[in-house]
Amino acid sequence: MRQPAYGAKLLAARRAGRTPLTVHVIVSEDPYLSYRCNLFCDDHPELKLKPSEFEPGRFDWRALTGCLTDIFDADGQYDAAPERFRPLVIEIGRLAGPVWINTLNHPPLAPQWLSWWPHEVEGINVKRREAWGRAFIAWCDGRWAEPARAA
């Protein structure tokens, strides 16, 4: 198995204790494309994948374990090649926390809303979504904690 672009860097950061809440996976033939969301007001690490290089089981997605994963489908694979795009989302969903799909022609989609999302993956992913929710609440509590009052 190989890492998607920037996967090894993200995995090394995680091993060093820097676990992001959110990661962007940019699916595009354009290696220079970047994606900026307004989620939580921070920059998020990006992994990049050329659709032409994807084959089920070829990539190691461990760097996404437990993270909210925002898949940005820049080339329209969701509509143009669903038989290739769906296995990608399912592979990511086995390890990630919440998964969102951003496409060119649809509002943001959560795969658990879609008929092709397997029940066995949902059983795994729902637990990761719940754990991510707890981590997000803790992050918010730390970020916006009320300053201690001087006595």
Query: How far is the C-alpha of 141 from the C-alpha of 93, rounded, in Å?
Result: 27
Contact assessment for residue 66 and residue 97, using Cβ atoms and an 8 Å cutoff: yes
Instruction: Please tell me the total number of residues recorded for the chain in this structure.
Output: 151
The overall average pLDDT reported for the chain is 89
Domain ranges within the chain, ordered by starting residue: 7-142
Sheet bearing 22-27, strands edge to edge: 46-49, 22-27, 68-73, 99-102
- pLDDT digit string (tens) for 134-147? 988 988 888 777 66
Q: What is the pLDDT of residues 105-127, one digit of tens each?
A: 888 899 999 999 999 999 999 99
**Mean pLDDT confidence for 25-42:** 77
Q: What is the pTM of this model?
A: 0.86
Burial class of residue 32 (count of CB atoms within 10 Å of its CB; 0-12, 13-18, 19+):
exposed
